[in-house]
Structure 1
Amino acid sequence: MKIAFIIFLTFFYMGYAHTQNADFEWAIANGGSFIDVSMDNHTDLNGNVYTSGYFYTTVDFDPDIAVLNLTSNGDEDIFIQKLDANGSLLWARSFGGTGDDRGANIVTDQLGSVYISGTFNNTMDADPGPNVFNLISNGYSDFFILKLDLNGDFVWAKSFGGLSAEYYINMDVDAGGNLYLSGSYRDSLDFDPSNAVYQLQANGNTDVFVQKLDTFGNFVWAKSIGGAEADLNNGISTDNYGNAYLTGSYRNTVDFNPGNGVFNLTSSGIDDVYLLKLNHTGDFEWANSFGNVNNESGRAIHVNDSGFIFLAGTFQNTIDLDPSGGISNVVSNGGNDVFVVKIDTSGAFEWGKSFGGTMYESCSQIISNPAGELYIVGSFLGTINFNQTNSISNFTSNGYNDIYILKLGSLGDFQWAKTIGGPHQDAMSSVSLDLSQDLYFSGNYQNTVDLNPDTGILNFTVNGYTDFFVLKLDQCIVNYTTDTIIACENYTWMDGVTYNTSNDTATHILTNVEGCDSVVTLNLTILYGNSSMDTIVACDNYTWMDGITYSSNNTTATHVLTNISGCDSVVTLNLTVLNSSAATEVISACGPYMWIDGITYAASNNTATYTLPNAVGCDSVISLDLTIDNVNTMTSLSGITITALGTGTYQWLDCNKGYAVIVGANAQTYTPIENGDYAVELSNSNCVDTSACIQITGLGVNDNFSINDIHIFPNPTNGKINVTLSEHHLVSRVFLINIAGEVIQNLWIDSEHLNIDLEALTPGLYFLSFETLNAGRLTYKIVKE
């Protein structure tokens, strides 16, 4: 059986978790009858995993029941295997010559192209397809770089080397598809793979080189660093800006500035760890080192997207991991322990950790996920404690060397550890992550090994001396999201809790589509509604904001609006209804009347209205009830008698004496006793008006009528008087008039003698007025005693 899956159940718990374990998903193993070794693996953007290494004789590279045999041309040839995320073979390629050819590193770029680096000797056909592209080494072993497309077809190949042997080559690719190569070399070496020459000379036993090629394999630049002793490179990693970071070991004093400047570092003992940063043009940025009197070496390096550098290596005894002047001592438990250091992009120390047992431990690779958590792989012997803060993570190897997988948090805190091993030597060469944060491992084993690091068992037995494997762990990566909510008054969240105030600390764990924890943090802002009183004083009725017309006082009605925060604003009505008033103004006028409305009414009116504010500020509607009593001041004149045509009470006036009241002249008629102008003052109800003055003439003695012609006796009298008229035919009538001008008696003349009875009259002055035909009216005073 070449591939196996374990079906398992994961129980999710409700609670906050910083990380979760990685569970076994599948493992495959390939090998022939001799030595077959995996050196590196890499995942592309589609979740496919590429494994590179070397093999000898014939190997079936299809982990399924199908067969894809590849056979080496010489001692050892190079292989590339591409599997999908389920562990199924997509393709496999091999190439090599008659000598020893080994694949060292494999990377992919964003376009899916595959780059393989390694060493070869003699002549090697670098085209794994039917065509031939021979590379010829200059010495015992040279470096090669091969580019394949995503289907495994040949694109180009380059080689460079000197007369001596070149050592392990490391590789990384930047976002632009440029390749950064590093390793160790001796003597002199031409680093330009074209016909041009770019020769560098080693200073000592072995020096470190770093080289940049573009995506077409063209030479860009190369640098060399080294002193008089053996200086080794074990890893290279690039950041998002094309800066290159290298680590390894050095002895004595080394100038780490590959340019014209000098930046010397001196080891504390035999071998110390170095960390070097060059920019994208190969210029020196900075270098750090740390170590003690023993052998220390940087074995693996990784730079994450945030620019932090993670460095892993081995040490003995006590070592200060802080290269920037501070102190961060760790102490080994036995032979070689493993250290892990985090450095920022400027070279400043962040933190350092170590783990190990009483025997020897090594590390092969270190990587990080987007959260800054670390995965470290390597091998160990004996019993090892991965959690230096306590003893709960002790593991004991099954054989000579077992494999470990360790996860640390972003602060270097222990998360989990797993081990794999059989009775012989087993080694983990590489680890990579896909976009789903699933882990892929490649390594080598001997004899029989259980490749399931969990409680299940999945044994593989080697076909030859050493076989290689690829292992996938399905890792539940916790998703962290924030649920931002703005609510009014309160909010019942997904955790079932009703929050009445703002909250940015509550969390709730869901299960995401991958079956892993999704930690949701609440970011709740509670806004509040408000209440207010709408106090209104209105007249008669009021139509409020709720559309209802209220005709009486109201303090209970409410209406809900939206306030500036978007919450309810409850308004309570406080309505006082005041009443308008109405009144009628009854007016009696004696003539045209100007009312409060400014209009002059000439006739009675009971329809006009006028509105004024009343005492409470409401309308007071005044209705007019106007009666105009017009006083009839018309008069008529009959002879010398003036008659008032209107009704009412009368007062006759002497116009020539300033409208002096004629005492006793209160009758409707008035007969003056002397010439003059006379008017009547007429009173009707409350109205008083005066007539026009009437002129009276012709009263008194006439020249044509002698005084002797009329005889009146006795005068004064206490009863009767006798009147003798010698010419009675000239007198038409005789009037007895009182002092008020009233005619008391009206007598007709038919003889010379006239008797007039005054006995019933009040004593006083009276007048006899004779109306003549030729002399007008003659008036005589009569005194009644």
Structure 2
Amino acid sequence: MKKLVLLNFLLTQLIFILPAQNLHWLNQMGGSDNDASYSIAVDDSGNVYTAGSFGGTADFDPGAGTMNLTSTGDKDIFIQKVDASGDLVWANSMGGTGWDQASSIAIDNSGNVFATGFFSETADFDPGTGTVNLSSNGGFDIFAIKLDVAGNLVWAKQMGGTDADEGKSITVDATGNVYLTGRFQKTVDFDPGTATMNLTSGGGYDFFVQKLDASGNLVWATKTGGANTEDSFSIATDNSGNVFTTGYFEGNVDFDPGSGALNFTTLGSQDIFVQKLDPAGALVWAKQIGGTGVENGYSIAVNDSGNVYTTGLFYGTVDFDPNGGAANLTADGLCDIFIQKMSNNGSYIWAKKLGGTGVDIANGIAVDNLGNAHITGIFYGTADFDTDTGTLNLTSLGLSDIFIQKLNTSGKTIWTQQMGGTEIDIGNSIAIDNSGNTYTTGSFYGTADFDAGPGSLSLTSLGVADIYALKSSICDTQSVPICMVGVDSNSTNNLIVWDKPITTNIDSFIIYREITVNNFQPIGSVHYSDLSEFYDVSPEADPNNKSYKYKIAILDSCGNEGGLSDQHKTIHLTATTDSNDDPLLQWNDYEGFTFSTYRILFDSTGNNSWTEVGTAPFGDNAYTVTTVPHTPYSRYVVEVVPPISCITDNTRSNITTLYIVSTEEQEPATSLLSIYPNPFSQSARLVFNNDKREPYKLVLYNVLGAQVWVKEDIYSEEVIIQRGNLNAGVYFIELQGKARTSRARIMID
């Protein structure tokens, strides 16, 4: 079977803001019959699962190998697992002599696989060498199965009566409870065990919601319906275990499955419903959306915040605010697509429409961890996929084309993809992983182009229709501004800080430094998951030598690098003394954001205990310190507070230390200290005059003003200074007496 792997193969496509598509892989499965995939799911490891039906012999290895499955009857169930690269892990078939179909698939946190659908006659649900036969009680019965991570059967359950009953959707919560929804007619026993839990439809079809535990035992089951037909197509749960379903209903229906009553009557032939049950199966709320025509809810999803997203089709004019307000949308053709967002308590947030003059249907919806909605389905003719005031027309190549679309949290179109050929091509299901990659599946007839841009990437079905599954990521290559640049607290490295955009398609951030005038070169990168800061540790970027300019760029998950940000320039500070021997500080202006004031900070301890001693307006690049007494190891920095919030709240210059190499006496100097050799490697001799035989204290400071060596109660006139563990560099000696203090600079080589 055919598999196309396109890692880092970037395709430019006609979409709303012209991002790039990275089609990681595209798989084709099928044979000489009509084969279709109805559901797709992805686990936390990136394994991808599809489920549907096939006839005859079909090859389910999308690579160069062969993995043929042969149906026993008209149609058999298939479940396939591929790894994150799209390579086959396993594929299983289940079925009998009739028509058997998997309509929905779900994965739990342990990688177990759950599926539901329908089967007829007698079907074997053990995909291995054993036999687990289930026999339908009527036309179709509902099944629910659990497979382990290797595809082995754990359990298989059936529910059904004398008519045609179908499981349409399945999901599983964090504790392993399993939820199903679908439709049934007449009386059906919903206890898959030895007990009985009969539910009876009110007329035609009613819809059911069922909860099983991880072992497949019944927890509860509910039914909702009236005298006509009600159908539920999709089910989802929130983090609290509440259960949400959507579908359509006809006529008058009581949506309280308990002893109460909550009656809705359709405005047209079919209206949409959204129902919420609590973890015990009791009604929390139900909503009706409809107009004078036909409206169906086909898919539902709930994000981590509990917001509820639904999609499907509508005809004519429909008010999508179910709570008394007005949010009318009008279809342009036979039927248009709707996407609706409500809060967890059923309050209306927004509704959007897509479509044209033909038939446009959304079959699947998924929500990423940022609250963006992703949908897939079909469209015919020319359809406008801009949910706002603009226009984004796509025209199908055949009877129907596949579309994939992403909307932001406000319902605005982010991008739209089109795939298809001259016949019928269908998008049935969509899933999103934690990195924002998109997975879709469905079926295609004849030859279909899966390149969403101007290029061509075609697959041709082997029979009537084949299955496709693909993994892609869409990247909006963008730039991100630097928040600030500065110098670290030890005055040894420059620090670059930026605000991390909330998105799912950034791989990393690339940091650039100016090497020559206006020539910026990359010096390092930081992964998106790491803290948004970078220390430039290169010896070529010593903050104590001069100021430096930096820019930043984004590398997206498609491998595209965005444009460089505006530059930021560090502050470089120097210190001398003026004619009055007061400290004179000078610096260059900070570049990168607008500000009004520099703060001048002072430290005499060597422990980064900074005190503000003055301010200077922007544009002034010098300041004379007269507010504090100068000490022999006074340290200064200049600081600016960014106008926007960063992960650090200020940017500082390098630390500059002002030393006075002299002898200070309260009486005329009668002696000077001398040091030899200077520089020295292992030891040096310090000689001074102590004719009064008073005690002296000898202190050695490093260039940051920190004490690194002290000797007290010195009465002799000679001291040996041992290098010990001191590093090579410049140091300052201070010889402190009662009436005099002498200072000198020494070097260790």
> What is the TM-score with the length of structure 2 in the denominator?
0.68
Q: Percent identity?
A: 35
Paired amino acid for 2:27: I
Whole-Å separation in 1 of the counterparts to 2:250 and 2:667: 107
The question of whether the paired residues in 2 share the 8 Å contact of 1:238 and 1:303 is answered with: yes
Deviation at 1:6, TM superposition (A): 4.2
Question: Counterpart in 1 of 2:617?
Answer: none
Q: Residue 203 of structure 2 aligns to a residue in which SS?
A: coil
CA RMSD of aligned residues (A): 3.7
Whole-Å separation in 1 of the counterparts to 2:119 and 2:109: 27
Deviations 1:752-776 (A, max 9, x none): xxxxxxxxxxxxxxxxxxxxxxxxx
Deviation at 1:508, TM superposition (A): 5.2
Paired amino acid for 1:515: G
Change (3 A) 1:561 1:403: closer
The question of whether the paired residues in 2 share the 8 Å contact of 1:170 and 1:183 is answered with: yes
Question: Counterpart in 2 of 1:141?
Answer: 140
Deviations 1:435-483 (A, max 9, x none): 3322121111112112222333222222111111112213337899998
1:454 paired to 2:453: yes
The question of whether the paired residues in 1 share the 8 Å contact of 2:387 and 2:411 is answered with: no
Deviations 1:203-261 (A, max 9, x none): 12111110000111111001111122211111111111111111111122222111122
The question of whether the paired residues in 1 share the 8 Å contact of 2:317 and 2:328 is answered with: yes
1:467-546 matches, cutoff 5 A: 467-476=466-475, 509-511=553-555, 515=559, 528-529=600-601, 530-531=612-613, 532-533=625-626, 545-546=631-632
Q: Residue 166 of structure 2 aligns to a residue in which SS?
A: coil
Question: Counterpart in 2 of 1:128?
Answer: 127
Question: Counterpart in 2 of 1:3?
Answer: 3
Whole-Å separation in 2 of the counterparts to 1:102 and 1:168: 10
Whole-Å separation in 1 of the counterparts to 2:560 and 2:245: 36
Whole-Å separation in 1 of the counterparts to 2:154 and 2:446: 38
1:313 paired to 2:312: yes
Which residue of the other structure, out of 635, 638, 641, is the alignment partner of 1:560?
A: 635
1:261-276 matches, cutoff 5 A: 261-276=260-275
Question: Counterpart in 1 of 2:370?
Answer: 371
Whole-Å separation in 1 of the counterparts to 2:285 and 2:249: 16
1:705-744 matches, cutoff 5 A: none
Deviation at 1:85, TM superposition (A): 2.0
Whole-Å separation in 1 of the counterparts to 2:30 and 2:234: 27
Deviation at 1:545, TM superposition (A): 2.8
Whole-Å separation in 2 of the counterparts to 1:535 and 1:8: 61
The question of whether the paired residues in 1 share the 8 Å contact of 2:17 and 2:476 is answered with: no
Paired amino acid for 2:242: N
Change (3 A) 1:143 1:477: farther
Change (3 A) 1:175 1:7: closer
Change (3 A) 1:152 1:257: same
Name stretches of at least 5 consecutive residues in structure 2 with no aligned partner.
Answer: 489-493, 498-510, 515-532, 534-549, 569-591, 602-611, 614-624, 640-649, 669-738, 740-749
The question of whether the paired residues in 1 share the 8 Å contact of 2:117 and 2:166 is answered with: no
The question of whether the paired residues in 2 share the 8 Å contact of 1:425 and 1:446 is answered with: yes
Whole-Å separation in 2 of the counterparts to 1:285 and 1:508: 50
Paired amino acid for 2:635: V
1:212 paired to 2:211: yes
The question of whether the paired residues in 2 share the 8 Å contact of 1:48 and 1:85 is answered with: yes
Question: Counterpart in 2 of 1:105?
Answer: 104
The question of whether the paired residues in 2 share the 8 Å contact of 1:160 and 1:191 is answered with: yes
The question of whether the paired residues in 1 share the 8 Å contact of 2:38 and 2:104 is answered with: yes
Question: Counterpart in 2 of 1:406?
Answer: 405
Question: Counterpart in 1 of 2:334?
Answer: 335
Q: Residue 226 of structure 1 aligns to a residue in which SS?
A: strand
The question of whether the paired residues in 1 share the 8 Å contact of 2:474 and 2:558 is answered with: no
The question of whether the paired residues in 1 share the 8 Å contact of 2:368 and 2:433 is answered with: no
The question of whether the paired residues in 1 share the 8 Å contact of 2:11 and 2:20 is answered with: no
Paired amino acid for 2:121: N
Deviation at 1:168, TM superposition (A): 4.4
Deviation at 1:18, TM superposition (A): 9.2
Deviations 1:400-437 (A, max 9, x none): 11111111112111111111122211111111122332
Whole-Å separation in 1 of the counterparts to 2:72 and 2:632: 94
Deviation at 1:77, TM superposition (A): 0.7
1:200 paired to 2:275: no
Deviation at 1:167, TM superposition (A): 3.0
Deviation at 1:528, TM superposition (A): 4.8
Deviation at 1:377, TM superposition (A): 0.6
Query: Which structure has the higher relative contact order (CA within 8 Å, separation 6+)?
Result: 2
Deviations 1:511-567 (A, max 9, x none): 15762569999999986524443677xxxxxxx7317xxxxxxxxxxx326899998
1:352-431 matches, cutoff 5 A: 352-389=351-388, 392-431=391-430
Q: Residue 291 of structure 1 aligns to a residue in which SS?
A: strand
1:637-716 matches, cutoff 5 A: none
Paired amino acid for 1:302: A
Deviation at 1:159, TM superposition (A): 0.7
Whole-Å separation in 2 of the counterparts to 1:313 and 1:58: 33
Paired amino acid for 2:632: D
Paired amino acid for 1:226: G
Deviation at 1:361, TM superposition (A): 0.7
Whole-Å separation in 2 of the counterparts to 1:11 and 1:148: 37
Name stretches of at least 5 consecutive residues in structure 1 with no aligned partner.
Answer: 498-503, 537-543, 548-558, 581-618, 620-785
1:745-764 matches, cutoff 5 A: none
1:23 paired to 2:116: no
Paired amino acid for 1:254: V
Whole-Å separation in 2 of the counterparts to 1:104 and 1:441: 15
1:236-315 matches, cutoff 5 A: 236-315=235-314
Change (3 A) 1:569 1:184: same
Paired amino acid for 1:90: V
Q: Residue 124 of structure 1 aligns to a residue in which SS?
A: strand
The question of whether the paired residues in 2 share the 8 Å contact of 1:23 and 1:454 is answered with: no
Deviation at 1:82, TM superposition (A): 1.2
Question: Counterpart in 1 of 2:322?
Answer: 323
Whole-Å separation in 2 of the counterparts to 1:146 and 1:480: 47
Paired amino acid for 2:29: N
Change (3 A) 1:286 1:485: same
The question of whether the paired residues in 2 share the 8 Å contact of 1:534 and 1:571 is answered with: no
Q: Residue 346 of structure 2 aligns to a residue in which SS?
A: coil
Whole-Å separation in 2 of the counterparts to 1:479 and 1:142: 51
Q: Residue 74 of structure 1 aligns to a residue in which SS?
A: coil
The question of whether the paired residues in 2 share the 8 Å contact of 1:477 and 1:516 is answered with: no
Whole-Å separation in 2 of the counterparts to 1:479 and 1:181: 42
Comparing 564-573 with 510-519, which one deviates more in the overlay?
A: 564-573
Whole-Å separation in 2 of the counterparts to 1:518 and 1:135: 57
Paired amino acid for 2:2: K
Whole-Å separation in 1 of the counterparts to 2:149 and 2:55: 25
Change (3 A) 1:10 1:463: closer
The question of whether the paired residues in 2 share the 8 Å contact of 1:368 and 1:374 is answered with: yes
Deviations 1:300-351 (A, max 9, x none): 1111112111111211121111112221111111110011111111111111
Deviation at 1:107, TM superposition (A): 0.9
Whole-Å separation in 1 of the counterparts to 2:65 and 2:9: 30
Change (3 A) 1:491 1:124: closer
The count of aligned residue pairs is 556
Change (3 A) 1:27 1:578: closer
Deviation at 1:571, TM superposition (A): 8.8
The question of whether the paired residues in 1 share the 8 Å contact of 2:479 and 2:554 is answered with: no
Whole-Å separation in 1 of the counterparts to 2:77 and 2:250: 33
Whole-Å separation in 2 of the counterparts to 1:11 and 1:57: 36
Change (3 A) 1:40 1:267: same
